[in-house]
Amino acid sequence: MSTTLGEHITTQKGFAFKSKWYVTEGQPIVKVSDFTSDSIDPRNLICIPKELAREYSKYQLQQNDIIIQTVGSWPSNPASVVGKTIRVPRSTNGALLNQNAVKVIPNKTIDQTYLFYLLRNNDFKDYIVGTAQGAASQASITLDSIRSFKFDLPHLDKQRKIASILSTYDDLIENNNRRIAILEEMARRLYREWFVKFRFPGHEAIKMVDSELGKIPEGWEVVKLFDIAAPTYGFAFKSKLFTDDGNGIPVVRIRDIPKGLSNTFTQEHPKKEDQILQNGDLLIGMDGDFHMGKWSGGHAYLNQRVVKITPFDNYSKYFVFLSFQKPILDLNKSIVGTTVAHLGDKHLKEIKIILPEEGSRKQAERLLDALFDKEINLKLRNRNLQKQRNMLLPKLISGKINLLYGK
Amino acid sequence: MSFKNIQELEKRLWDAADELRANSDLTSQEYSRPVLGLIFLRYAEYRFEMAKARIEEKQSSRRRGGDIKTAIQAEGAMYVPEGALYSKLLELPDGADVGKAINDAMKALEAENEAIKDTLPKTFTKFDGDTLSGLLKNFAAIRFDIGSDVFGRIYEYFLTQFARAEGQGGGEFFTPSPLVRLISEIIEPYSGKVYDPACGSGGMFVQSAAFVREHNKTATSELSIFGEEKTGDTVRLAKMNLAVHGLEGDIKNGNSYYEDIHDSVGKFDFVMANPPFNVDKIQKERLEDSKARFPFGMPRVDNGNYIWIQMFYSALNAKGRAGFVMANSASDARGSEMEIRREIIQSGAVDVMVAISSNFFYTVTLPSTLWFFDKGKPESRKDKVLFIDARHIYTQVTRAVRDYSSEQLNFVANIVRLYRGEMVDDTFLATHPDERNSGDWSIEKFFPDGTYQDIAGLCKVATTEEIEEQGWSLNPGRYVGVAEGEEEDEEEFRIKLEELQEELEILNGEAHELKKIIAQNVAEVLGY
């Protein structure tokens, strides 16, 4: 049965909170710049004082609220595209919604989770971008155009069934993300306990001696990063040949390091074999924030200003990764470029690390390697789950797949 | 009786039953309930025949007659009508509809016995005849003469194996019997009302009854059993489990957060439980008004641990004792959870805390802590808590599973008895011969004077002041200290790493459930 969205929802626009109210502690405000591709990043939320916030309680968000971004970029910049629909995660429960976004509240006729997937579907995205207006740099959509969206709405049982199929994927992806974070934290803590605080098994019997990096256990040594690993610098691909249409091989730029995934492709080939990446490769971005990451986006090419660090045979990836993490962060603080900071080969060459005696190191590496493999495995599973969900979503929402629901 | 014989029998029966499953297209879940039902049916006939023999003996000199059903039930057995006899099912002719015959037998048995009404599985027509005949023959091989409670043990063994095969969701973990048994040894439920608001298949009751029996009393006359369980299917398992062990109890289907079916406040002599760990999304606003059940208020975090803990606390009468399994993170939790913990500690009810090694659960490796409350503590122990760090006490069974030898379990329970100024009680050791016992865990070795003393790395009595100094932590590791060769400040690292591992394991369990659902959905989408 064809219907329009306006019959099934009410809306609540965000409020233009004044920047002079901003404080660091208080009631968090969610801005469109805090949106991720389908959620909210809770890490850098700005706040207003709690007393003030009470007057604006109608802008308060709850977990699972659905929000559409009403002002943003054109589709050429998908990160902040207008019409994007996100769902409020538990971490921002209670935050207030800023301007340029609207909360969509379902009536009794439509299931909330189903509504979320309906608005995530390409039919809605294409429709809403088609109604957008504005200049080249900024597009906006109206509440009227959101309300006028026409679609077929199945009855509630079927909506719930479809919603449950799709949200199982999102639940598992969220579960996997949390597990990845836990594994990373475990690795970090283990490394710190053993190799920074020197409380490794059997440390009581070991004497501490002087070194150029302070006191270290006897039998340990200070070495250069490049004594235990080798760098491969990226290839200068022609950016005018880059596409986002999936033709060619993904190119890994600095911005792709944190996610471990690239959606930029090229038909060009790199000069060296080494510039081809595989899952588990260690990467450092050489400009800006000096992102560090473990690649999990499959077969891909290494672009310029990204360096791959390959541990020598005898050293484990996670150990090497954790060893260079702090020196790189320190460099990031100390190197100040004119506009962006640049990391050079000369800096990397000088990185010194404390190399534990082999017994302790091997023991840690066994633990770390297992964590590393599990992390990469979970990331790959998430890619698979996202693909499955993205394949099913349009088919289920359009009713192209018939389900034996309610059995 | 030979411990080994029963172990071998259990394994043989399981292997045979599992092979039959492998040759059918049934999932472990579809298979487990009917198989347990068949064991139950076999047992019902056995108990019935024994009771009949006893009655006939008594009546041989007297006139026959009277109501045979009442007489059988008075003997503590179920009345098994002709149509529900296991032996008759074995004699079915070739080509008979075995599935239907078993369904009918289940119905006939239920019709005569109120306690198991709507409890037994009746889905046997889903099986093919060969599988059923194989199963019937398999369980016919159970011998009665190798010990008491053979059926109870086999039933529990199957229950455990199925729990292992099916895996579990979220923070719900099948309680391994060594932990259940240790709880009963420490709360010593000699007689009274026992309550478990998260009773699952009823393992806590079965072990507390075993405790009573081994102390030469009759469980049915000493204990009244009250349970609540949220999954209907599991309630049926629990009822069967009690019946298999010759126990009676009041097990109800309900969600203990929101429905206090047994009107529990202040009512019970004993509470024993293994609640699901770290449950989220509980609707706390529905509980806020139940001040009697949750006297210390709602935790602000989205975690059910301190909701359960208060449920156990409030269900005890003025002399009641509780023992339960808890996620380790609860002992050190901060914020509003710490405030609740502080109030419980200040009430003087916390009696003993025991840190348990990892790998005791079957499906996850996570370690856990046993909490013990005693509202009837004497004045001398009112402001004290006994901490036992038993993380290093275990016997490795397989690479992934740990257990207690009967000597180890007996040892831990006796530390508590010494602390309470009671006599050492070796009943458990005497009734559970165990070839793994080596004499290393004898109470004389650790406590040569026969009186309690603090031992670094093992046990320590702390006062309320000392607990306050530790930020109201109930983590035994913080008090017991470490044996020689380890260092104190490593404890923080250990605690944090353990917390991470605990969360990871629970997520693994959830992921396992979600994966199953996705596989089913995909099969449906593809039209399989």
pLDDT of amino acid B149: 64
Distance CA A13, CA A38 (A): 19
Distance to chain B for A48, nearest Cα, Å: 22
Q: Using alpha carbons, select from B272, B329, B268 the residue that is nearest to residue B304.
A: B329
Q: Which residues contact B139 (CB under 8 A, 6 or more apart)?
A: B13, B38, B39, B42, B86
Q: Fill in the DSSP letter of residue B174.
A: P
Q: Which candidate in A162, A169, A174, A175 is best for mutational testing of the B interface (most B CBs within 10 A)?
A: A175
Give tens-digit pLDDT for A33-54: 999 888 898 888 999 998 888 8
pLDDT, mean of residues B150-174: 74
Task: Provide the chain B residues 287-346 that lie in CB contact (below 8 A) with chain A.
Answer: 302
Chain A residues whose CB is inside 8 A of the B517 CB are 168
Considering CB atoms only, which of B485, B504, B517 is closest to A182?
A: B504
- The least confident of A17-26, A145-154, B461-470, B498-507 is B498-507
Distance CA B218, CA B229 (A): 26
Q: Which residues contact B331 (CB under 8 A, 6 or more apart)?
A: B353, B369, B473, B474, B475, B476
- A78 pLDDT more than 80: no
Distance to chain A for B256, nearest Cα, Å: 25
Q: What is the four-CA torsion angle of A341, A343, A347, A352, rounded to 10 degrees?
A: 100
Residue with tokens 């802008």: A59
Band (A389; pLDDT cuts 50, 70, 90): very high
Distance CA B386, CA B447 (A): 15
Percent of chain A with pLDDT over 90: 69
Q: Which candidate in B486, B524, B526, B528 is best for mutational testing of the A interface (most A CBs within 10 A)?
A: B524
How, if at all, do strands A71-72 and A46-48 pair? unpaired
B515 vs A: CB within 8 A = yes
Q: Using alpha carbons, select from B32, B18, B229 the residue that is nearest to residue B134.
A: B18
How crowded is residue A186: how many other Cβ atoms within 10 Å of its Cβ?
A: 20
- A299 pLDDT more than 60: yes
Give me the total of CB pairs closer than 8 Å, taking one residue from chain A and one from chain B: 56
Query: 3-state class of B311 per DSSP?
Result: helix
Judged by CB atoms closer than 8 Å, whether chains meet at B517 and A168 is answered as yes
* Token pair for B263: 């009107």
pLDDT of amino acid B139: 86
Q: Which candidate in A177, A182, A385 is best for mutational testing of the B interface (most B CBs within 10 A)?
A: A182
Q: Using alpha carbons, select from B60, B38, B47 the residue that is nearest to residue B136.
A: B38
pLDDT, mean of residues A17-34: 90
Judged by CB atoms closer than 8 Å, whether chains meet at A186 and B489 is answered as no
Give tens-digit pLDDT for B9-68: 788 888 888 887 877 777 777 788 888 899 889 988 988 888 888 888 877 655 555 688
Give tens-digit pLDDT for A213-224: 999 999 999 999
Judged by CB atoms closer than 8 Å, whether chains meet at A199 and B496 is answered as no
pLDDT of amino acid A266: 93
pLDDT of amino acid B61: 53
Considering CB atoms only, which of B493, B510, B525 is closest to A193?
A: B493
Tell me the whole-structure pTM to 2 decimals: 0.72
Residue with tokens 């060296």: A272
- A348 pLDDT more than 90: yes
Q: Give the C-alpha distances (Å, rounded to integers) separating B352 from B369, B377, B387, B411, B425.
A: 10, 11, 6, 15, 18
Considering CB atoms only, which of A172, A182, A199 is closest to B511?
A: A172
pLDDT of amino acid A405: 47
How, if at all, do strands A27-30 and A96-97 pair? parallel
Give tens-digit pLDDT for B477-488: 889 976 654 555
pLDDT of amino acid B151: 72
Count of positions (residues) in chain A? 407
Instruction: Calculate the CA A336 to chain-centre distance.
Output: 26
Rg of the Cα atoms in chain B: 24
Distance to chain B for A186, nearest Cα, Å: 7
Q: Fill in the DSSP letter of residue B256.
A: T
Rounded to the nearest integer, the mean pLDDT of chain A is 91
pLDDT top residue among A337 and A307:
A307
- B382 pLDDT more than 50: yes
Distance CA A377, CA A371 (A): 10
pLDDT top residue among A143 and B511:
A143
B524 vs A: CB within 8 A = yes
- B323 pLDDT more than 70: yes
Considering CB atoms only, which of B487, B503, B518 is closest to A169?
A: B518
Nearest CA in chain B to A405: B524
Considering CB atoms only, which of B490, B521, B525 is closest to A199?
A: B490
- B489 pLDDT more than 50: yes
Q: Using alpha carbons, select from A219, A217, A195, A220 the residue that is nearest to residue A207.
A: A217
- Among positive and negative, which fits the CA dihedral B217, B218, B219, B221? negative
Chain B residues whose CB is inside 8 A of the A181 CB are none
Nearest CA in chain B to A173: B511
Asked if B280 and B306 count as a contact pair (C-beta separation under 8 A), the reply is no
pLDDT of amino acid A402: 73
- Start-to-end CA distance of chain A, whole Å, equals 23
pLDDT, mean of residues A161-174: 92
B365 vs A: CB within 8 A = no
Q: Give the C-alpha distances (Å, rounded to integers) separating B74 from B69, B79, B115.
A: 9, 10, 14
How, if at all, do strands B268-273 and A96-97 pair? unpaired
How, if at all, do strands A2-4 and A150-152 pair? antiparallel
pLDDT of amino acid A193: 92
Chain A residues whose CB is inside 8 A of the B518 CB are 168-169, 172, 385, 388
Nearest CA in chain B to A403: B525
Burial of A342 (0-12, 13-18, 19+ CB in 10 A): middle
Q: Using alpha carbons, select from B139, B254, B118 the residue that is nearest to residue B196.
A: B254
* Token pair for B117: 């009404």
pLDDT of amino acid B385: 97
Considering CB atoms only, which of A176, A185, A401 is closest to B511?
A: A176
Predicted complex ipTM? 0.77
Chain B residues whose CB is inside 8 A of the A163 CB are none
How, if at all, do strands B395-396 and B192-196 pair? unpaired
Nearest CA in chain A to B523: A403
Considering CB atoms only, which of A178, A189, A392 is closest to B507?
A: A178
Distance to chain A for B518, nearest Cα, Å: 7
- A407 pLDDT more than 50: no
Chain B residues whose CB is inside 8 A of the A183 CB are 504
Considering CB atoms only, which of B490, B507, B515 is closest to A179?
A: B507
Q: What is the four-CA torsion angle of A100, A103, A109, A115, rounded to 10 degrees?
A: 80
Considering CB atoms only, which of B485, B490, B525 is closest to A392?
A: B525
How, if at all, do strands A282-285 and A306-311 pair? antiparallel
Rg of the Cα atoms in chain A: 25
B511 vs A: CB within 8 A = yes
Give tens-digit pLDDT for B95-153: 889 999 999 999 999 999 888 888 999 989 888 888 888 889 888 887 766 555 677 77
B18 vs A: CB within 8 A = no
Consecutive H or E run containing B320: strand B316-327
Q: Which candidate in B329, B484, B507 is best for mutational testing of the A interface (most A CBs within 10 A)?
A: B507
